[in-house]
Structure 1
Amino acid sequence: MISINSEPIFLIIITAWVIHRILAARRAGSLHLGREIVVNFFFIYACFVFSYTFFPMDIVLYGFDPNDANLIPLVQMIRFLRYLENPFVIRNLLGNLVLLAPLGIFLPLLFHKSRKFTVVLATGFLVTLSIEVFQLMLRFRVFDIDDLIINTIGVALGYWVFKLLYMIPFLNRWFDTIADSEKPAGKHYFISFAGVVLTGFLAIFYLSIISSTETEKMIVDKLPQQDQQLVAHSQVGEYLVIFSESKDGAKSAYFYRQVVFSRYVSVLGNINLDLQENEYSISGTSFDANEMDYFAIARSHQPIAAMTSGESRFPVTSNGEYHFSFARLPLAKTDAYFSFHFVDDLGNDLGLSQDS
């Protein structure tokens, strides 16, 4: 898991915003005070939405199941309605409804082209869709179609609040003045502002990954610092298996999972092994509710072609007398741990026994 702090991101956003507004003012020659106040309130609101929907940002690098997404409309919402006495349910429903409602006010207030209901509704839908998809892509929250629906309804409610306010004579004149003060040149600066923010976020994201993961060379090079000597290592599927020996002769296995940029995170470590000839060891871990990942290390001078479990066959990579394999099996297969076999090219069981 990678945790990204909000402070450096908002430092970039605020700095870029101040520069953006200064450049826009210089280009335009003058700024309408009322519009500038509204624009900056809109910026503060956008920062709040960004903070509320994306932080704390704890990105799961593995074991995230996108199938957990709620893609069936209204089912979860109806289930929530049965528990309205629960403060969490009320807070969740009202929070999603109110979250983007100000967007329905700010858009027609700032832009004449957004005075149409369909434009505001479509923009609100795209904004909330972007939030949900971005959360799913970064794998730290689950896509929920009910949030999409409620947020969009909130934008619509915000728009009708604007329409009601616009019916007040002195307010509609002020609203029109604010919208009329839009400067075309500001759009170019806003695109530059968005580009700077996106670049800064990607840089922080990349640095966070670098600081939370290791390359294969880094993993191997740190073994001597831990009084360990490399015995064998191998890439098995998306896993890197490290088999090492300490100064007192104790052997240990470490398992790392590849995530991004050919970098790894530890998933299982310091598993003590003392494999004799024709013995193997199985270790397992689960990252979701449906499957189990098994890691096998076998010691044998016999050529091993594959590891099997029932009808399933898994490739084996060899490093001298040590052989490594990886199997992903359904959790329902409860006997999988006890049913692994190592076979030769002809499929004959080589008779390896499990390390006790």
Structure 2
Amino acid sequence: MSIQEIFGKVMVYLAPAAAAILALLSAAGLYLLLQRKKHGAGTWQMSRLHKPFIGVLLLGYLLVVFGLTGLSRTANYAGATNFHLFSGYMEAWNNYSIFSFQLIVFNILMFVPLGILLPLLTGKLSRFRGLFAASLGTTLLIETIQLVTARGIFELDDLFHNTLGSVIGYHLYMLGTRIYQERRLRLAELTKRLAIPVAIGVLFFGTHLVYVGKDFGNMRIHPVYGTDMSGVTITTSIPFSHTASTSSVYKNEHSLNRKRGQAIAHQLQDKLGLPPIEWEGRDGANLQFHFKESDGTRYIFTYFVLDGSWDLFDDHYHPEEHPAAVAAHEARAQAEAIMKSLALLPTAARMTVTENGEYDWRLPEQAYSPRDRWDGYARLSLKTDGGISAIQYGFMSNRYVRDVPIMSPTEALDQIHKGRFDQVYAFRQGDQLDITSYELSYVYDTKGYYQPVYAFEGVVNGENLWLLQIDARR
């Protein structure tokens, strides 16, 4: 979830919360005026409105929190739980980017106001023990509601982060209270109250330094939880070599180059005659551009920052609603002219027509060897009137870096036996996995290095296709 998505969801529930707060405060103000008229200005004290005012703010805040954690999702998480503490950190590390840690930080910051409002509401919660219990109880209630309504995952990480945020808020409250009472700021008090956020900042900064110092990036295919294989029978009829060897590592020439994404978006607009760009933002770690709606079209361009691939499609086009109108030879010529105008294809790329009428450009088969290389494909889909329905561009230019030692296929198979991978759908007791093939392939790491992996294929219980990638590097 990107920062824009988080902010958008906050605004959805902030508006009704603000309206509720305003209505309750208006009612409280009217009540005050009536009391002043009835009893006289000198007999009514403003301090009596302190707790109702804080209570209203707390109510509005909880409305936003419950909206974000429950109402903003559909009921697609029936029985979903995650009792692996700190698994979010492992997942964020494997997928390292500016956005990979944002959900952790957001879950902490979201509960900072709770740690401030609760002790303001009642003196009983101005002691740490009471505040901690109330904060833990609140976040436990939220996680339980998510589990019962199937609108979220019950996660230990969320319990930890939300409670930690409340504790930070409590220390900020205590710091502010001490400054107000003593009319001065003591270094010892400041150090004590800001120790947790400073420690978090040091931890994240240290993590970044470790990442920057690594020769290569992190592999997203590395396991976070692992898979229980104790009840699974693994069979195969293919031979696995015991010989370890070396393989090349490459670097994508366009990895993390956001300016290239912007340039291609404007190039598409110019060469293809697309409407002006009306919105530019992020889709997770990637860039996204929306072209202004025109003549029934709504083109969306997404640039994948990690490897430099991209796609463009008309979100309003549905082929079944349009009868065929362009002859095959005319469409082929149109497709070739469109891609030629963009001047992005490798010179060796050759076009073929797929069974469903799409136009594919691919490179001749080539071995993985220590030289700069192109990989990937491009695909163009045309509308029935000859216009563009979608373009997918996946050609990637990779520069040779060096050779690295890799494990043998037998060692990679052993990783599967030990469950050192993550499985989207868990195996069940008695499942049988038959591995039918494997090959040495490549995937990008988080720094844009093209690293060797073993790509396995198999069948579960004789019918369900099973795919897995295992990091081949030692």
Same fold (TM over 0.5): no
Higher RCO (Cα < 8 Å, 6 or more apart)? 2
TM-score range, shorter chain: 0.3 to 0.5
TM-score when normalising by structure 1: 0.40
Structure 1 or 2: larger helix share? 1
